[in-house]
Amino acid sequence: MTHNNRRLRHEYKYIITNAMAQTLKRRLSVVMKSDKYADAQSGGYRVTSLYLENIYRSSYNDKMAGIGQRSKFRVRAYNLDPSVINLEVKYKDDEYISKKHARLTLEQYQMLLKGDYSFGVSEEFKSTAMEELLISDKLSRPRPSVLVDYFREAFIEPAGNIRVTLDSGLSTSYNSLDIFNARYSPVWGNAVILEIKYNSFMPTYICDIFADFSLRKETVSKFVICTDKLLEVKKQCIL
């Protein structure tokens, strides 16, 4: 299914215990492949995102209000490696998600960090997330807002473009908004966020993996959790 030339995917989120996550990993590893970016020793990789927020706080407020159609911008890096930096705009259309991307150089990222998006007028960014950011900048001025950091273990099945991820160790930074120079602090205990994404169908043999778990769909947002924690710390500093 497509919408505005974007491929729509189902996305479901659940909060599970670490014990449940360990059981799921054993089951998933039997029928699905590990993500190609996973480290052979740890079985996963670190994901760090810088979220952008506009002057109306639309990303946060729309999420909290349960608005069905919304979007948010983020810059994402893996294992704190500056050689691969992606700008993404993630769209939410009720139960579906879709994305646009743009690859950034370290220099371009550093410009974006300062609120300078002038490099985005280059032809290379036509029809990408960077073009979307330029349009939004004229309307609502999205700027770096909060860092979100966690450890991800991912399993994939090419048929149906199925992706199951287990995210743990959710952290943020209170001293910097620079992905590569921040100090990160945990914000959310030992809970694990399970996410299931797929295009159009889920094979029965994968559905059966979750059959004996009492899973309840959640609207959990790592962006919201870290934003709330950052605001809480800032308020304490003022007091």
Residue 117: phi, psi to the nearest 5? -105, 15
Q: State the virtual CA torsion across 226, 73, 238, 235 in degrees, nearest 10.
A: -40
Backbone angles phi, psi at 198, to 5 degrees: -160, 160
Residue 159 pLDDT grade (very low, low, confident, very high; cuts 50, 70, 90)? confident
* pLDDT: which is higher, 13 or 189: 13
pTM across the whole model = 0.95
Which pLDDT value is given to residue 35? 87
pLDDT reported for residue 239: 52
Sign of the CA dihedral 68, 162, 79, 7?
Answer: negative
Residue 198: what pLDDT?
A: 96
46, pLDDT greater than 90: yes
